Structure 1
Amino acid sequence: MAPAPTAQCTAPPHPDWLSAMNAEGACFDLQAVVPLDEASLLAQAGRATGLSDFGDDGWREPFRVLIRALETEAELTLMGRLMARHDIFLWLCTRLQVTALLASHPEILEQEVPAPMVIAGLPRSGTSILYELLSQDADVGVPQMWEALRPCPPPETASYHNDPRIAWADRLFTQWNRVAPEFAGMHEMRGDIPAECGLLMAGSFISDHIASLHQTPSYGAWLAQADFAPVYRYHKTILQILQWKNPRKRWLLKAPEHQVHLEVLLQVYPDARIVQTHRDPIKCMASATSLMGTLYHMRSDQPFNAALFENIIMGEATAARLEKVMDQRAAGVIPSHSIADSRYQDLMDNPLACIEALYQHFDMPLAEATRAAMASYLAGKPRGKFGKHAYSVEDSRAAERKLFARYQRHYNVPDEA
């Protein structure tokens, strides 16, 4: 078998301020100045929250794999170490606060989470715009960035839209655009926009969100063989906390990683309504390569290694991922009534008709007010409003076309590259 083509990504230069900061950081002993060791991180989270019980121990092994990989593989700059330490600190604080909250209010775990709609598909296949459009339905609850990152104390209805965590999260997440200005054209970041489920899962320390931030092959390898059943149970717990004092009629959720774990998702949410997005995989892989390279470059200057995220940006692994879902659907592991399809081309050509087809598949009424809200949202967010995500599709990518023949034929997915 011939070796798979290697995805390439050359990130633009850092802003001058960041280059100067990281250059000065090279003068320090960064492991001493910004420590990423277990004892330091756990102690700081304990001091910040006044708590000590992290709950069950399932998170400890991936946590240790991660921090070891950050030290030995990620080659973090000064800014990278600061960002990584802050992320881990917040995830640890969340674990402490979730454990304490459930100990004092175990009734939270008795709440139902009925029929969530879950968007799953390759990165850059239209999942984000579909997510944003579907969230215009007033009956939908969407975890926002601020509450996904800091779910405790539980959000309350009366203060939901002016919670001080919104401004805090906005400042934190828009930092990504200040560190890598080109990122603004790839993905909108704010404190009050819909969050992907990887952020809800981060407190388990088993999450593709974590893997997307650093080049850490040993953590990625550990993640690939991990049992995701406890991760989805933790995910449900976070939703129960978020809806406890701010009820949601039904949740709308999204993450590319769901596509790899649909059978586990259905174990935890047996009545889930899954929407699988479809786009030319060659185009998705090229766009995802550009995105991943930019994310890594925020925190490290080491060359981009596509193989570390091969399941979404390397041809054979991506084809296997797509065909696994096809086989699961054919075998009834994913029942036909539980999953609907959304082609990128249809979403771009006639988004409201695409939405209507999804509602019909799941036998859900589409109110005129909802339709109007979606149309208004589209009018206010034309394509390219936040800048254009420019990337190329190399000849080596086009050579992978044959890998996706079965998938594209089955879902009638047109070539874009």
Structure 2
Amino acid sequence: MAYPSARQPKTIKFVNLLGRGLQKLEIEKPSMLPIEALIRKAFTQTGLDDFGDDSFFPALEKLAVSLEREARLSQLGRIAAHAMLLDNLKLRLNLTDYRKKRPEIAQQTIRRPLFVLGLPRTGTTILYELLAQDPAHRAPSTWEVAQPIPPAQRETFQSDPRIAVVEKTVQKMESLAPGFQAIHAMGAKLPQECVTLLAPHFISDQFGVTFYIPEYRHWTLEQDMTAAYRWHNEFLQHLQVDYMEKRWVLKTPPHLAYLDVLIKQYPDAAIVQTHRAPMDVLGSISSLSCTLHSAFSDSIDVSATGQAEARYFSEMLRIGMAQRSVMDDEDSRIFDIHFKDIISDPITVIENLYAHFDFDFTESARTAMQDYLKSRPRDKHGEHQYSLEKFGLSEQQHAPLFAEYCERFNL
């Protein structure tokens, strides 16, 4: 696959051509800096000025600087990045304001949430989507996270008019980055990852996946995430105030790097980690990143992207293993699953998962999951082709980064 794809619409290519002309004139607009200008614009457009707290400011500034200096944004990418930052500022303002109007939101308790984490391309997505089929589970849908005010209602959860609006936005990604759906299916009704819940705090891998910003990404691994997970909890409180089931099921790979803070925020959390040999997934991860980056940049260095993915995910695994090693309750708290088992017999895997956490695996849950598997064949949106070599990756050079992890989990 070429980056950007030859199938990218001509209108997008024309906008980016104009942007290159502006760059030659040393004009780069819109700008992410200074962040004070973004914040003022968010105040003006919402008529609000209370973010709840200002603990996210350093992350917003770091992200804005990385987008300006690292991301090699096209003109469309510059417009999209600016809009993404502004939209998340406005979302934070609106959620904070709505929370003040409905004090019962702050009284919501998040009970026994189930988190799915692990390297991307290790079965996390299909496992997450299957777990979301259990009638006892509540997973945040893409549409309600994108447009959370007012909170979703049980009676209209599958028919809310916001679904159609968000679906149009989701489908635009396929035109911006042709081939994206073949790598990672998205839809307004599909379960959404926690990266979106964390985005209004601006320490979120939503940005690291969407744009080439390796410096920002590594910076996030070093941060105290206490305030970020407090915001995550507040977002969940908002989503469940009018519609909740027995437990939340949630997912995002980078939770692995913040297990200590996650457990402090959710002391009764149940955690599932999926496993697969990292060298079997790095090519796919790099392909996904290049495909997404090419929606917002005309300057894609596939080798640099591959190296950045290897460094980031090896560090994420190292931190996660270190945090697991000091857990007194690791064996009961975390359930480990191998990718090959998810692919060969996912229902048995889930049955064992439920037994581990003493969850009730009902016949209605089993049937719903089996029906979902039948309706969601692999390669539904086309075949995803990739190789390590295309992204400058090799067993000899990069496998040692993951040697300790592979030895521990017999990969």
User: Counterpart of 1:4?
Assistant: none
Alignment partners' CA distance in 1, 2:175 and 2:200: 25
Are residues 1:336 and 2:331 paired? yes
Alignment partners' CA distance in 2, 1:404 and 1:76: 31
* TM-score, scaled to structure 2: 0.91
Q: CA deviation at 1:43?
A: 3.6
Bigger mean CA deviation after superposition, 118-127 or 283-292: 283-292
Bigger mean CA deviation after superposition, 224-233 or 298-307: 298-307
Q: CA deviation at 1:359?
A: 0.7
Bigger mean CA deviation after superposition, 300-309 or 392-401: 300-309
Alignment partners' CA distance in 2, 1:309 and 1:267: 33
Are residues 1:380 and 2:378 paired? no
Instruction: State how 1:8-407 maps to structure 2 within 5 Å.
Output: 12-13=5-6, 15-17=8-10, 18-28=12-22, 33-37=29-33, 38-304=35-301, 312-314=309-311, 318-333=313-328, 335-394=330-389, 396-399=393-396, 400-407=398-405
Bigger mean CA deviation after superposition, 90-99 or 196-205: 90-99
Q: Deviations over 1:45-98 (max 9, x none)?
A: 233322122221111122122223322332211211221122112201111112
Please report the RMSD computed on the Cα atoms of aligned residues, expressed in angstroms. 2.4
Bigger mean CA deviation after superposition, 163-172 or 344-353: 163-172
Alignment partners' CA distance in 1, 2:268 and 2:90: 31
Decide whether the 8 Å contact of 2:283 with 2:306 is kept in 1.
no
The alpha-carbon distance between structure 1 residues 133 and 221, as it changes in their structure 2 partners (threshold 3 A), is: closer
Alignment partners' CA distance in 1, 2:179 and 2:7: 10
Alignment partners' CA distance in 1, 2:176 and 2:20: 18
Give the 3-state SS of the residue equivalent to 1:119 in structure 2: strand
Q: Which amino acid aligns with 2:55?
A: G
Q: Deviations over 1:178-224 (max 9, x none)?
A: 11111111011222211110110000011111122222344334323
Percent same amino acid at aligned positions?
A: 35
The alpha-carbon distance between structure 1 residues 330 and 55, as it changes in their structure 2 partners (threshold 3 A), is: closer
The alpha-carbon distance between structure 1 residues 333 and 84, as it changes in their structure 2 partners (threshold 3 A), is: farther
Alignment partners' CA distance in 2, 1:65 and 1:320: 20
Decide whether the 8 Å contact of 1:116 with 1:250 is kept in 2.
yes
Alignment partners' CA distance in 2, 1:230 and 1:305: 34
Decide whether the 8 Å contact of 1:34 with 1:85 is kept in 2.
yes
Alignment partners' CA distance in 2, 1:132 and 1:311: 28
Give the 3-state SS of the residue equivalent to 2:179 in structure 1: helix
Decide whether the 8 Å contact of 1:36 with 1:67 is kept in 2.
yes
Alignment partners' CA distance in 2, 1:319 and 1:70: 23
Gaps of 5+ in 2: none
Alignment partners' CA distance in 2, 1:43 and 1:325: 38
* TM-score, scaled to structure 1: 0.89
Q: CA deviation at 1:310?
A: 6.0
Bigger mean CA deviation after superposition, 160-169 or 82-91: 160-169
Alignment partners' CA distance in 1, 2:57 and 2:173: 28
Q: Deviations over 1:28-53 (max 9, x none)?
A: 46956534343543343233322122
Q: Deviations over 1:101-132 (max 9, x none)?
A: 22223331221100110001001111001111
The alpha-carbon distance between structure 1 residues 57 and 31, as it changes in their structure 2 partners (threshold 3 A), is: farther
Q: CA deviation at 1:309?
A: 8.2
Q: Which amino acid aligns with 2:406?
A: Q
Alignment partners' CA distance in 1, 2:133 and 2:157: 17
Give the 3-state SS of the residue equivalent to 1:26 in structure 2: helix
Gaps of 5+ in 1: 1-7
Alignment partners' CA distance in 2, 1:180 and 1:233: 33
Q: Which amino acid aligns with 1:34?
A: P
Q: Which amino acid aligns with 1:59?
A: F
Q: CA deviation at 1:333?
A: 5.0
The alpha-carbon distance between structure 1 residues 311 and 33, as it changes in their structure 2 partners (threshold 3 A), is: closer
How many equivalent pairs are there?
404
Q: Deviations over 1:141-200 (max 9, x none)?
A: 001112222322222223322223222221112211111111111011222211110110
Decide whether the 8 Å contact of 2:282 with 2:306 is kept in 1.
no
